C-alpha cells in the first residue's frame, strides 16, 4: 500500500517537473509530449508491478492456508 502511494507521488513529481520545464520553455513541444508518454509508461509499469506483487502475496497466503487445512 505504501509502495503504491510512493510510486504515485513519484510519478506526479516527475509530471510537475516536466510541466515546469515546458512552461519555462526548456523543452520543445515534441520533447514535452515524449516525456509525458515515457512518464505514463513508467508509472503504469510501477503500478502494475505493485499490483502483481500484491496478487502474488495473496496467492501464496491462499496456498499456505490450503496446505494447513
Render each residue's pLDDT in the chain as its tens digit; 69 residues: 788 889 899 999 999 999 999 999 888 999 999 999 999 999 999 889 888 888 898 999 888 888 887
pLDDT confidence of residue 42: 92
Determine the structural domain holding residue 14 and report its residue range.
2-68
Do residues 63 and 27 touch, judged by C-beta distance below 8 A? Answer: no
25 φ/ψ sector (left φ>0, alpha ψ -120 to 50, else beta): left
Total count of domains within the chain: 1
* Cα separation values, 15 from 12, 48, 61, 63, 65, Å: 5, 19, 36, 40, 42
Q: pTM to 2 decimals?
A: 0.72
pLDDT confidence of residue 33: 94
pLDDT confidence of residue 38: 94
16-45 core/surface letters (b: 16 or more CB in 10 A; e: else):
eebeeebeeeebeeeebeebeeebeeebee
Amino acid at each position: 500500500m505504501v509502495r503504491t502511494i510512493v510510486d504515485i507521488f513519484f510519478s506526479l513529481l516527475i509530471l510537475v517537473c516536466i510541466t515546469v520545464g515546458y512552461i519555462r520553455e526548456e523543452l520543445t513541444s515534441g520533447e514535452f509530449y515524449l516525456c509525458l508518454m515515457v512518464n505514463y509508461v513508467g508509472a503504469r509499469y510501477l503500478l502494475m508491478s505493485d499490483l502483481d506483487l500484491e496478487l502474488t502475496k495473496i496467492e501464496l497466503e491462499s496456498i499456505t492456508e490450503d496446505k494447513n487445512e
